[in-house]
Structures are given as C-alpha cells and as structure tokens.
C-alpha cells in the first residue's frame, strides 16, 4: 500500500499548526510538503540531505525575510529542495543556494543584496521556472549543473545576470536579463548550455561573454543596448551562434577570437521559425477565436511597422498597449493575454513580458488611502510586463454596505496607466455589458485603452475540439463515437447563463476521466497501457449523465 506524502501546515497563531517554518522542517519526514500560510517569516533554513517541498498555501503571499542575515535564506546540501510560490529576501548572502542537491523553484521571486540571488553548484538537476530575480550581485549562478531554466527574469544586478560554468549544461529558454553592471550571460570553463529565445538588454559590458573553453549553443538570442560587444567568444571557445539578433552594442556585434571554433549561423532573410513566429503560431493554434487572432495580429503588425519607421528615422505615433478583453468566462482571455505579453517582449516593447493576474481583492484596501497604495504597489511590480485584471467591472460595484474603495483603485490606475503607458500592458477583462459599466466609472478610463477585443462563446463543435485536445495532452485517446454525444451536451448547456465555455469543457473532461477510473477499477486486474489511455463512449455517457 502506498502512502501519500505528509503535509505540514505553518500558520502562526493557529492551533494545531506550526508557528515557524523551521519548526515544521524539523518535524517533517523526508518527502513531506510544508504548506505555509500568508505572512513574513524572518527565518533562514539550512537543509542537509533532506527531500522537502516548501509551498505557499493557496492564494497566500509568503515572504522569507533573511535581509538581516549573512547566510543564505534557503540553503540545501544534498537531497532535493522544491519551493513553490514564495518571495525570498536575502541580505549579504545568496537568496537560494543548493550544493549537490536537486533544486526546483517555481513561481518565486528572489531579491538579494550581495552574492547570488540563486546559486546551484553540483549536478543538480535544477528546474527553475517562472521566477523573478531582482537586485543581487549576480542573478543566477549554475556551476556543473544540468536541468532546465525557463521564463526567468533577472533585472538590476550589480555584476553578471547569469553565470554558467564548470561544465554545466542546462537548457535555458525564454528568459529575460536586463540592467547588469557587467555581462548579461557569462559562460566559462567547459560549460555547454543551450540558450534559446532569450533577451539580454542594458548591460555595462558584453551582452554574452564566452571564456575558458565554453561551448554554448545560442539560438535566437536577442542582445541590445550593451556597453560592450554583443556576443564575445573568447580564445579556444566553441559552440554555435544561431539566428541571434544584436542591436545597439559596441562593435563588432559578434566577435570571435582568432582561436575560437564557434560557428555563426545567420537566419536567412524571410525565414520563419523565430520566437515571434512561434508565438503567432501558438496563437493560431488555439481553437476558434478568428476575430481575436486577427485583432492581435493587427496590433503586432502596427508595432513592428512602428519599429521599422523608427529605425529609418521616420516619425512614429505613440502606441498604447492597454487592452479590454470582453466576453464570457472560459473563452481564452487569459491565454491570449499571456501570449500578447510574450509577443510584446519579442517585439522589444516590454522588457520581460511577465504576466501577472489580479482581481479586486488584490487592488482594493479596507480604509481610505490603503487602496491607492495597494494598487500602486501591484502596478509597479508589474512594470515591464502584463497586468491582467480579471472581472475588472467589480471595481466599479458596491460590494455591500458602507464605504467601497473600488473607485479609488480605478482612479489610481487611470493615472498610472498614462504615466507608464510604454512600460506596461494593462489588460482588463470581463463580461461585455459589465465592462461598459466599468469604463463609465472614470471619464478618462476608456481613452487609456487602445481597443476592445470581443471574445465570442465557443461553438459546440469547437468545445468538442477543445475536449479532444485535453485528452491528447493528457495522453488519452477519446472514442470517436463520443464526439456527437459531446456536441449535444455542449449545445444543451450553452443556453445556461452561467455557461463557462472551455471551463465547462475542462470540468466535463475531468468527469470523463473519473468515469474511466471507476470502470477500470472494477476490472479486478491491472489494466494494460492501451486500456489506461482509452476514454470510451460509456465513460462520456456516464459523465454527461445520459
């Protein structure tokens, strides 16, 4: 019999829970998950040969504050450390440091003073995704390490943004490095990283420096505004520089030492396959939404042409990147907003293209003055990316008796959107009729948005296609005979005012999986792989209640 991993709760002041993270870690068996309630924890943790997960509780803002310490805030030697959804504030040492330990960081923010924000030494592996790094002497240091680094943003570091050395061979994808006192990416001593679809901007020295027999693969890396050479490959260094874009750097854009063996491959004129084309292909691959896709493409075209005019010395009009997404839930608004942010990053409009989704409770405070401060903080933390405000119309609604400060949030947003219109994309989303009410809440609000994009409900056939994709993505095979049953089901529920489009498709798919699980359990034996993949007509009929 297998036993589920234990979960230990940290919630100061709550009976039956641990008061500190340190106490929970001491009491946790290997493999346990420590779930942490909202709050700031002035603690540093040292884990030796431990396998643990530290996770912010659902919806909780958790901060590890080690700003007054001279040791790393989170330190792991041996074992495996997984950290989800927390903010780490370091002082005169690393924010997160792992030595000969597997490290997983997801959805975290790391702020540091001296030392590296995140440092990993040893084979790892690492899985660092959706992480924001600010401050620090160095942003991310990987020495002798394998694994994946994806969608990481590094900004305002005193020295190097990323350091990859001592034979490290990670895959680094879709990352943004900006504001470095030295190099954006430093590869040294036999390191062989694969770096794809990354942006490096505003470095005091070289954008990318390869030294001491490093051999990176740099593929579709964009370097701009570097005080030194864009990409500098030193003596006896190799690797590949493929389809990279280098602008506004010292000359030459790409420099190879006489003994360097690196290969430079330029992308042929008119070739597709770059990150911008890949993002547009992802957009086109979404089910339905033809009008939405056309609107987003027109925005991309306008931004691209503006950039070309600027390079040619021609005048350009100011462009607002703020948008209104109007439509019912489950019509792809959040997915399109994420893609829009990445498109703006690839076009050089936004520094990072990070996506932050908020709602009324993230912006509105409980007393006069609190809301303006709260809204401004969220806004400033979102600069350089996309601020997505879901159900924005709730800001213009009274939520009950007494004072309501939603209007204060709207008024604050109006000013900030104008002051920072080239530094952020604000997207507000909600039902079409309610969004008209929202725009009426402030005379200047509607003028802040470039346009309104309408998201129509999915048709029953499109929802069948979405369900089929969910099945394929989950390594299932959907019985073709189930398609008309699904179409009939979606046709029936689409008349319901609470119809959730793709959300209802997701709920139905989970119900089909549940029906399959019950059927397989009743077999009295272990199913073979084909049976585990198969979603039968009877599973679908059970899920729809037919």
Task: Confirm whether 1 is domain-assigned.
Answer: no
Sign for the CA dihedral angle at 334, 342, 509, 525 comes to negative
Q: Please say which residue of 201, 230, 265 terminates a domain.
A: 265
* 185 and 288 both lie in a single domain: no
Burial of 398 (0-12, 13-18, 19+ CB in 10 A): exposed
Secondary structure letter of residue 18 according to DSSP? B
Do 62 and 86 meet the contact criterion of CB atoms below 8 Å apart? yes
For 8, the token pair is 């230990």
Do 80 and 105 meet the contact criterion of CB atoms below 8 Å apart? no
Q: Hey, is 361 helix, strand or coil?
A: helix
Q: Domain of 479: which CATH number?
A: 1.10.8.60
* 416 and 335 both lie in a single domain: yes
Residues 120 and 353: their CA atoms lie apart, in Å, by 26
Q: Please say which residue of 265, 288, 320 terminates a domain.
A: 265
Q: Which residues of 142-165 are buried (b: 16+ CB within 10 A; e: fewer)?
A: bbbbbbbbbbbbbbbbbbbbbbbb
Residue 213 CA neighbour count, 13 Å, CB half: 4
* 170 and 316 both lie in a single domain: no
* 164 and 22 both lie in a single domain: yes
Q: Which residues of 375-393 are buried (b: 16+ CB within 10 A; e: fewer)?
A: bbebbebbbbbbbbbbbbb
Q: Domain of 165: which CATH number?
A: 2.160.20.10
* 478 and 373 both lie in a single domain: no
Residues 111 and 136: their CA atoms lie apart, in Å, by 7
Residue that is written with structure tokens 């070739």 in the block:
271
State the first-to-last Cα distance of the chain, in angstroms, to the nearest integer.
Answer: 35
* 141 and 284 both lie in a single domain: no
Residuewise pLDDT in 10s, the chain (546 residues): 445 578 999 999 999 999 999 999 999 999 999 999 999 999 999 999 999 999 999 878 899 999 988 999 999 999 999 999 999 999 889 999 999 999 999 989 999 888 899 999 999 899 999 899 998 899 999 999 999 999 899 999 999 999 999 999 999 998 999 999 999 999 999 999 999 989 999 999 999 999 999 999 999 899 999 999 999 999 999 999 988 888 889 888 899 998 999 988 865 433 444 677 777 777 877 778 888 888 888 888 888 887 777 767 777 776 778 899 988 888 888 889 888 888 888 887 787 668 889 888 888 877 667 788 888 888 888 888 889 988 888 887 554 434 567 788 888 888 888 888 778 889 988 888 888 888 887 787 888 887 888 888 888 888 988 898 888 888 888 888 888 889 889 988 888 878 888 999 999 999 999 999 999 999 888 988 889 989 999 999 999 886
* 466 and 451 both lie in a single domain: no
* 434 and 506 both lie in a single domain: no
Residues 323 and 331: their CA atoms lie apart, in Å, by 16
Residues 203 and 223: their CA atoms lie apart, in Å, by 9
Range of the domain at 530: 460-544
Q: Domain of 296: which CATH number?
A: 3.40.50.300
pTM, to two decimals: 0.54
pLDDT digits (tens, 9 = 90+) for 40-76: 999 999 999 999 999 999 878 899 999 988 999 999 9
**Nearest in space to 190 (alpha carbons), one of 148, 144, 140, 155:** 144
Residues 34 and 30: their CA atoms lie apart, in Å, by 11
| DSSP H or E segment with residue 9 | strand 7-10
Q: Which residues of 11-46 are buried (b: 16+ CB within 10 A; e: fewer)?
A: beeeeebbeebeebbeebeeebbbbbbeeebebbbe
Domain count, the chain: 3
* 395 and 477 both lie in a single domain: no
Do 345 and 351 meet the contact criterion of CB atoms below 8 Å apart? yes
At residue 131, what are phi and psi to the nearest 5 degrees? -120, 140
Residues 436 and 428: their CA atoms lie apart, in Å, by 12
* 353 and 497 both lie in a single domain: no
Q: Hey, is 149 helix, strand or coil?
A: strand
Q: Please say which residue of 265, 296, 322 terminates a domain.
A: 265
**Nearest in space to 142 (alpha carbons), one of 75, 206, 176, 188:** 188
């Amino acid at each position: 019999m297998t036993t589920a991993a234990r979960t230990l709760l940290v919630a100061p002041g709550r009976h039956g829970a641990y008061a500190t993270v340190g106490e929970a870690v001491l009491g946790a068996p290997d493999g346990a998950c420590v779930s942490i309630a909202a709050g700031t924890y002035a603690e540093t943790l040292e884990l030796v040969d431990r396998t643990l997960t530290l996770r912010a509780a659902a919806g909780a803002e958790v901060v590890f504050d080690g700003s007054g310490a001279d040791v790393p805030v989170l330190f792991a030697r041996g074992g495996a450390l997984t950290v989800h959804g927390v903010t780490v504030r370091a002082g005169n040492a690393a924010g997160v440091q792992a030595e000969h330990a597997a490290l997983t960081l997801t959805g975290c923010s790391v702020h540091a003073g001296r030392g590296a924000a995140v440092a990993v030494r040893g084979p790892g592996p690492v899985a660092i995704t959706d992480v924001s790094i600010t401050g620090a002497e160095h942003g991310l240091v990987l020495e002798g390490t394998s694994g994946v680094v994806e969608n990481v943003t590094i900004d305002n570091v005193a020295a190097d943004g990323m350091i990859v050395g001592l034979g490290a061979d990670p895959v680094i994808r879709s990352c943004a490095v900006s504001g470095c006192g030295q190099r954006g990416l430093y590869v040294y001593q036999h390191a062989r990283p694969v770096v794809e679809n990354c942006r490096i901007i505003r470095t005091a020295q070289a954008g990318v420096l390869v030294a001491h027999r490093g051999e990176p693969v740099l593929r579709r890396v964009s370097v701009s505004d570097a005080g030194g050479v864009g990409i500098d490959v030193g003596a006896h260094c190799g690797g590949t520089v493929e389809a990279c874009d280098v602008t506004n750097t010292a000359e030459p854009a790409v420099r190879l030492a006489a003994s360097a063996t690196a290969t430079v491959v330029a992308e042929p004129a008119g070739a597709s396959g770059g990150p911008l084309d890949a993002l547009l292909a992802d957009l086109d691959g979404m089910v339905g939404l033809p009008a939405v896709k056309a609107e987003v493409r027109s925005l991309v075209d306008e931004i691209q042409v503006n950039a070309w005019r600027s390079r040619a010395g021609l005048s350009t009009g100011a462009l607002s990147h703020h948008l209104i997404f109007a439509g019912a839930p489950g019509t792809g608004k959040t997915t399109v907003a994420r893609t829009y942010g990445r498109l703006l990053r690839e076009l050089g409009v936004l520094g990072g293209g990070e996506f932050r989704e908020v709602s009324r409770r993230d912006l509105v405070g409980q007393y006069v003055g609190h809301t303006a401060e709260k809204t401004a903080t969220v806004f400033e933390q979102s600069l350089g990316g996309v601020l997505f405000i879901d159900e924005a119309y709730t800001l213009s609604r009274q939520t009950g008796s007494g004072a309501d400060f939603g209007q204060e949030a709207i008024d604050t947003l109006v000013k900030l959107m104008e002051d920072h219109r080239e530094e952020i994309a604000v997207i507000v989303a909600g039902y079409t009729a309610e969004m008209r009410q929202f725009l009426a809440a402030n005379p200047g609000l509607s003028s802040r948005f470039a346009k309104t994009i309408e998201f129509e409900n999915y048709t029953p056939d499109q929802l069948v296609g979405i369900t089929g994709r969910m099945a394929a993505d989950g390594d299932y095979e959907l019985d073709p005979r189930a398609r008309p049953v699904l179409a009939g089901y979606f046709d029936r529920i689409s008349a319901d005012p609470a119809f959730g489009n793709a959300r209802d498709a997701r709920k139905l798919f989970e119900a089909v999986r549940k029906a399959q699980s019950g059927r397989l359990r009743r077999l009295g034996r272990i199913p073979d792989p084909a049976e585990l993949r198969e979603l039968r007509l009877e599973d679908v009929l059970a899920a729809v209640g037919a």
